[in-house]
């Protein structure tokens, strides 16, 4: 890092500071703080959807997966079609209901118990997956870029992880969702620009796209998009089952993502925000996953040196350090600072979105239930305090994070989400498309699904660490592929939800009015129809065509 690089980073933070300062004004009500006043335009919403999703686990973890497992994780990055589903299928119900959070929506559709379950599970999941992964990735980035930095005995890893959490927490506490949305919009631009430069300079050093294909063809089975069903890690059938289940949960029901659409000024802007976000979501394969492939090819040619780590007693490329290594090895002065700014943007945008969502969940779904008559100012204050608590919990997780990195950040994240997503995907889809599903079925399905998922996760950890070595059937469950396990968890959840609902009384017509497709009023249908036009349809078709084109090309690119 040279002087010009630091100047570029300084300009980035100065611009960020101005945005945050402007957003700290008029944060007096819960609508202002948690939903940005509900007057955000489609461009900021789409950019925030993209920036919130594309965090450190993508820049650090996805590039790393490209290096060690090729295109296997591309299926999760071609979920633009699910973001389109959010805008056309889910958002009309969420937005018209006027809810602040997803648990609040579940209470309207089912009951307060369903709301409590989702609130508690979501908060725990955020702290132990998203916070932990993002904080650890921040430390990895700093440790690779500034290996010699030391401050009061703390090395670059600790300094990076700690500063990422604290700085992001401060501006999230001050500015609320409006600060998150507008800083995300700015960060999305930096993120895309920096990653495009990495891809460009990497291909230039390698000798072009054909050289990358040739390097990957040597080990085509490892780098292919589709793997045989005998593949122990990414069997094609398991991917087809698990990827949509996790995708619908993440993009269509998770507070962390959906909250951006609820901040729109109207239903049309909410939908257009998802279409714009879907267009941006098409490109991570090219600008985050492909650089990992490029890094592998450059390492094989001896043009850069990727660090090595030990996994199960064998040497393996440390994929989580690939992207930062490419930044230091490939980019000229000035651009290096821009890309480091992009890395910081990814780290901060993920955490800021997460902190605000956690504050919303705790304040609206827990504290407001306990103190329903508190003032709006009190709720905002509680939201800020909740954010501070999440920041502290994130800091406490820093010493634990090295233990989760052995299989790669991105695989860790997807496997844990695969055990949490099935019951939520099932209850939201069945709840929207069937009036017959009732509160008892929903609660039973969520409880059974979550307990089974936690049991599978615990057995997987205990077996992999050698703590549990028998009986054989326990070991088999612990070692069972996480993709197929996701499918079984979804099937169990659906069976429980439907069975319990069918043997108990159906919900009343008043209970489901306007909350399922079969119970939308004539006025509701008219409002939804008036919220889109031919341009929304054409842009949607364009995004879906891009997704299909990516699938077709990378299905045969190594033939």
* Residues whose CB is less than 8 angstroms from the CB of residue 490 and which lie 6 or more positions away in sequence, other chains included: 241, 245, 422, 423, 425, 426, 449
Q: For residue 152, is it left (φ>0), alpha (ψ between -120 and 50) or beta?
A: left
Q: Specify the range with the lowest mean pLDDT, choosing from 141-145, 444-448, 526-530.
A: 141-145
DSSP one-letter code for 436: T
What confidence score (pLDDT) does residue 369 get?
Answer: 79
Residues 396, 401: Cα–Cα separation, whole Å: 10
Q: Specify the range with the lowest mean pLDDT, choosing from 179-193, 277-291, 375-389.
A: 179-193
pLDDT (average), residues 25-30: 53
What confidence score (pLDDT) does residue 403 get?
Answer: 47
Residues 227, 310: Cα–Cα separation, whole Å: 25
DSSP 3-state of 181: helix
What confidence score (pLDDT) does residue 459 get?
Answer: 83
What confidence score (pLDDT) does residue 41 get?
Answer: 80
Q: Which residue would you say has higher pLDDT here, 190 or 104?
A: 104
pLDDT (average), residues 381-410: 64
Of 389, 46, 319, 67, nearest in space to 189 by CA:
46
Instruction: For 12, list phi and psi in degrees, rounded to 5.
Output: -60, -50
Q: Which residue would you say has higher pLDDT here, 348 or 398?
A: 348
Instruction: For 161, list phi and psi in degrees, rounded to 5.
Output: -65, -45
* Mean pLDDT, all residues of the chain: 80
pLDDT (average), residues 142-151: 68
What confidence score (pLDDT) does residue 430 get?
Answer: 94
Angle CA(320)–CA(290)–CA(418) in degrees, nearest 5? Answer: 60
CB 88 within 8 A of CB 82: no
Q: Which residue would you say has higher pLDDT here, 496 or 298?
A: 496
Task: Give the C-alpha distances (Å, rounded to integers) separating 34 from 49, 100, 122, 176, 359.
Answer: 16, 8, 17, 6, 8
* Residues whose CB is less than 8 angstroms from the CB of residue 549 and which lie 6 or more positions away in sequence, other chains included: none
Question: What are the beta bridge partners of residue 310?
Answer: 315
What confidence score (pLDDT) does residue 406 get?
Answer: 47
Q: Which residue would you say has higher pLDDT here, 557 or 33?
A: 557
Q: Which residue would you say has higher pLDDT here, 293 or 61?
A: 293
In the predicted model, is pLDDT for residue 396 greater than 50?
yes
Residues 112, 116: Cα–Cα separation, whole Å: 6
* CA 19 distance to own-chain centroid: 24
Q: Specify the range with the lowest mean pLDDT, choosing from 93-107, 130-144, 445-459, 504-518.
A: 130-144
What confidence score (pLDDT) does residue 502 get?
Answer: 95
DSSP 3-state of 371: coil
CB 255 within 8 A of CB 424: no
- pLDDT per position as a tens digit, 320-362: 778 778 877 887 887 777 777 767 766 666 676 677 677 777 7
DSSP one-letter code for 227: -
Of 394, 105, 386, 391, nearest in space to 258 by CA:
105
CB burial string 133-169: b at 16+ within 10 A, e below: bbbbbbbbbbbbbbeeeeeeeebbbbbbbbbbbebbb
* Residues whose CB is less than 8 angstroms from the CB of residue 355 and which lie 6 or more positions away in sequence, other chains included: 168, 169, 172, 173, 387, 390, 391
Q: Which residue would you say has higher pLDDT here, 240 or 513?
A: 240
* CA 513 distance to own-chain centroid: 32
Domains and CATH numbers, the chain: 3-12+38-556 (1.20.1730.10)
- pLDDT per position as a tens digit, 423-448: 999 999 999 899 999 999 999 999 99
Q: How many CA atoms lie within 13 A of 30 on its CB side?
A: 21
Residues 527, 271: Cα–Cα separation, whole Å: 13
Task: Give the C-alpha distances (Å, rounded to integers) separating 104 from 57, 367, 431, 528.
Answer: 29, 13, 14, 21
Most confident of 57-71, 100-114, 307-321, 534-548: 534-548
Residues 456, 161: Cα–Cα separation, whole Å: 30
- pLDDT per position as a tens digit, 501-515: 999 999 988 888 888
In the predicted model, is pLDDT for residue 102 greater than 70?
yes
Instruction: For 304, list phi and psi in degrees, rounded to 5.
Output: -135, 165
pLDDT (average), residues 104-125: 85
pLDDT (average), residues 297-301: 86
- pLDDT per position as a tens digit, 167-184: 666 655 555 556 666 666
Of 346, 336, 18, nearest in space to 188 by CA:
346
Q: Which residue would you say has higher pLDDT here, 84 or 54?
A: 84
Angle CA(510)–CA(526)–CA(534) in degrees, nearest 5? Answer: 140
Q: Which residue would you say has higher pLDDT here, 446 or 380?
A: 446
What confidence score (pLDDT) does residue 144 get?
Answer: 65
pLDDT (average), residues 70-76: 84
């Amino acid at each position: 890092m040279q002087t010009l690089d630091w100047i570029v980073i300084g300009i980035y933070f100065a611009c960020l500071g101005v945005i945050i300062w402007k957003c700290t004004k008029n944060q007096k009500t819960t609508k202002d703080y948690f939903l940005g006043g509900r007057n955000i335009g489609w461009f900021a919403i789409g950019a925030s959807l993209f920036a919130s999703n594309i965090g450190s686990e993508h820049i650090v973890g996805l590039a790393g997966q490209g290096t060690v497992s090729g295109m296997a994780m591309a299926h999760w990055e071609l979920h633009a079609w699910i973001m389109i589903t959010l805008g056309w299928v889910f958002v009309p119900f969420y937005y018209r209901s006027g809810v602040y959070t997803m648990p609040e929506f579940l209470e309207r559709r089912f009951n307060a118990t369903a709301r409590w379950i989702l609130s508690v599970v979501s908060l725990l999941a955020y702290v132990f997956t998203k916070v932990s992964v993002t904080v650890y990735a921040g430390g990895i980035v700093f440790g690779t870029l500034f290996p010699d930095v030391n401050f009061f005995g703390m090395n670059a890893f600790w300094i990076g992880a700690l500063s990422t959490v604290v700085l992001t927490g401060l501006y999230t506490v001050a500015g609320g969702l409006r600060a998150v949305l507008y800083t995300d919009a700015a960060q999305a631009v930096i993120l895309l620009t920096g990653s495009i430069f990495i891809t460009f300079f990497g291909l230039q050093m390698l000798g072009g796209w054909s050289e990358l294909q040739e390097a990957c063809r040597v080990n085509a089975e490892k780098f292919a998009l589709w793997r045989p069903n005998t593949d122990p890690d990414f069997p094609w059938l398991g991917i087809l089952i698990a990827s949509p289940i996790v995708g619908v949960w993440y993009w269509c029901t998770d507070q962390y993502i959906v909250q951006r659409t609820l901040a729109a000024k109207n239903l049309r802007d909410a939908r257009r925000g998802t279409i714009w976000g879907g267009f941006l979501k098409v490109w991570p394969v090219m600008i985050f996953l492909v650089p990992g492939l490029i890094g592998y090819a450059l390492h094989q040619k001896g043009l850069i040196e990727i660090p090595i780590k030990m996994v199960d007693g064998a040497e393996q490329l440390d994929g989580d350090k690939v992207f930062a290594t490419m930044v230091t090895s490939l980019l000229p002065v000035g651009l290096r600072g821009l890309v480091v700014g992009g890395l910081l943007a990814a780290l901060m945008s993920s955490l800021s979105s997460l902190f605000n969502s956690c504050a919303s969940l705790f304040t609206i779904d827990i504290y407001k239930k306990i103190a329903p008559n508190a003032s709006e100012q009190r709720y905002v204050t509680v939201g800020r305090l909740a954010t501070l608590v999440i920041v502290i919990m994130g800091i406490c997780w820093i010493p634990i994070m090295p233990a989760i990195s052995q299989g790669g950040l991105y695989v860790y994240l997807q496997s844990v989400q695969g055990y949490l997503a099935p019951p939520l995907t099932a209850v939201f889809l069945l709840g929207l498309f069937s009036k017959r599903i009732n509160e008892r079925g929903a609660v039973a399905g969520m409880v059974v699904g979550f307990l089974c998922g936690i049991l599978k996760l615990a057995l997987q950890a205990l077996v992999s660490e050698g703590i549990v070595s028998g009986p054989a059937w326990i070991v088999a469950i612990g070692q069972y592929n996480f993709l197929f396990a996701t499918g079984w968890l979804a099937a169990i959840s659906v069976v429980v939800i439907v069975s319990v609902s069918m043997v108990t009384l159906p919900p009343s017509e008043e209970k489901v009015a306007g909350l399922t497709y079969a119970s939308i009023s004539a006025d509701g249908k008219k409002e939804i129809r008036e919220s889109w036009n031919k341009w929304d349809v054409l842009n949607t078709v364009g995004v879906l065509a891009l997704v299909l084109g990516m699938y077709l090309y990378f299905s045969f690119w190594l033939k």
